Amino acid sequence: MDNKLIIPYLEELDLEASDENISLLLANWGEVRAELEKLYRNRDQKSTLQLMKKGIGYFLQFLNWSNDRQVHSKEPIPFKLLEIKPVNLEERLTYILSRPNLFHSYRQLSELFTEQEKLFAKKNIVKKRLDQKG
């Protein structure tokens, strides 16, 4: 995937990864998602672009944080090296970035978030079990 497509979505994101910031990010995504659902329900596709950009940025931030990486807007994301990521991430993200205001792109983004949240939760459970044994 061409990381040049992603840079505009990362420029505003510079928080440090922490449980509190991840919870805040997921809450912010929930608000963006609710607003997007309302816009798509009303068939107001033209008003969705800014919110979709924000949502894409939140996803990229969450993807990095859940892989214990900090986000740097000038640094490419090594998708192939990420430990936890949804299936077909690069293809799905390429589709979303090429048509960000389409309803199907919103559905893909929403599904990517759901899948990444599940993978992140699984990673944390495994980590806690290993910490208890160790």
Could you read off the pLDDT of 35-46 as tens digits, one per residue? 999 999 999 999
pTM: 0.87
Would the CA dihedral through 23, 111, 61, 128 be positive or negative?
A: positive
As a whole number of angstroms, the distance between CA 32 and CA 106 comes to: 11
Statement: residue 85 has pLDDT above 80: yes
As a whole number of angstroms, the distance between CA 117 and CA 128 comes to: 16
What is the domain partition of the chain in residue ranges?
Answer: 3-133
What is the predicted pLDDT for the residue at 130? 87
